[in-house]
Amino acid sequence: MVEPRPSAPTGCEGTEVVIEVDGLSMVYSERGAETVALQDANLSVLNGEFVSLIGPSGCGKTTLLRLVADLIQPTSGRLEVAGKSPRQARLDREYGYVFQAPVLYDWRTVLKNVMLPLEIMGVPRDERRLRAARLLERVGLSGFHQQYPWQLSGGMQQRVSIARALAFDPKLLLMDEPFGALDEITREAMNLELLRIWEETRKTVVFVTHSIPEAVFLSGRIVVMTPRPGKIERVVEVDLPYPRDPETRESERFFELATEVREALRGGH
């Protein structure tokens, strides 16, 4: 169903399906009121793909991500992650999750927060430290190892949470608006950094965003969602060649694609 992107680097990319979403629905019922957060969603994410979910607030982006992460159970439909049930995938630590809020432990220093998943996974102490320090450097927080989360700005906290998700090197990254709290300049820098990491490691990334330019700049495919009930409206293929750099944002094709996404978003109303 999805062709390998013609311009993508070859070699690391398979046709292996990492996330298989098949007729997935999620209905929240609270005190008699029912919210259809996700209705009959169908989607396949291939190994090494960068896929964005975009849509207005309340269209079920977080819900879809949480279903994949086995943090909630679907009302109906089938879901497979890395060829397993979501629960098994979670227990096998197949994915790293960046929450919409930073969710740092306030009794741990920045360094120790990044080391948390490694502690759970029983990585030896010295290696924990080494890996956490390296990732903090990647997100530009080298000088903040011993600070506590509340001593950092909101954007810095979110960068810590990204470093934490990358710490155990998961093959699949689920990112829920990771850069939502950042200013435009830091955001673009982080976009580039994430793209570098992705190009190097070829992780599969599912990335939630509200920003059309961000989605176009980063993704190979953009899943456009619409609310009430939350559903997948369209999938836009982004045929901009990788590796991308800041100039990509100025290209004509970039604007065409942004317009296409914008129209798809409007189409849901």
Residue with Cβ nearer ligand ATP (62 or 157): 62
Q: Look at residue 58 and give the partner it binds from Mg ion, other proteins, ligand ATP, none, a contact being a CB closer than 5 to 8 Å depending on partner kind.
A: ligand ATP
**Looking at residue 149, what DSSP letter applies?**
G
Residue with Cβ nearer other proteins (39 or 161): 161
Residue with Cβ nearer ligand ATP (10 or 57): 57
Q: Look at residue 116 and give the partner it binds from other proteins, ligand ATP, Mg ion, none, a contact being a CB closer than 5 to 8 Å depending on partner kind.
A: other proteins
**Residue with structure tokens 């994915």?**
95
Instruction: Name which position in 25, 47, 62, 219 contacts Mg ion (CB under 5 A).
Output: 62
Identify the H or E element spanning 134. helix 125-138
Residue with Cβ nearer ligand ATP (100 or 201): 100
Residue with Cβ nearer other proteins (168 or 242): 168
Angstrom distance (rounded) from CA 194 to CA 165:
12
Angstrom distance (rounded) from CA 244 to CA 197:
12
**Residue with structure tokens 């269209």?**
59
DSSP 173-237: EEEESTTTTS-HHHHHHHHHHHHHHHHHH--EEEEEES-HHHHHHH-SEEEEEETTTTEEEEEEE
Q: Is 63 in the site for Mg ion (CB under 5 A)?
A: no
Binding site for other proteins (CB under 8 A): 69, 71, 90-93, 95-97, 99, 101, 103, 105-108, 116-117, 119-121, 148, 150-151, 168
Shortest distance, CB of residue 78 to other proteins, whole angstroms?
21
CB-based contact 13:245 (threshold 8 Å): no
Angstrom distance (rounded) from CA 69 to CA 90:
7
Binding site for ligand ATP (CB under 6 A): 28, 30, 35, 37, 55, 57-63, 100, 230
Binding stretches for Mg ion (CB under 5 A): 62
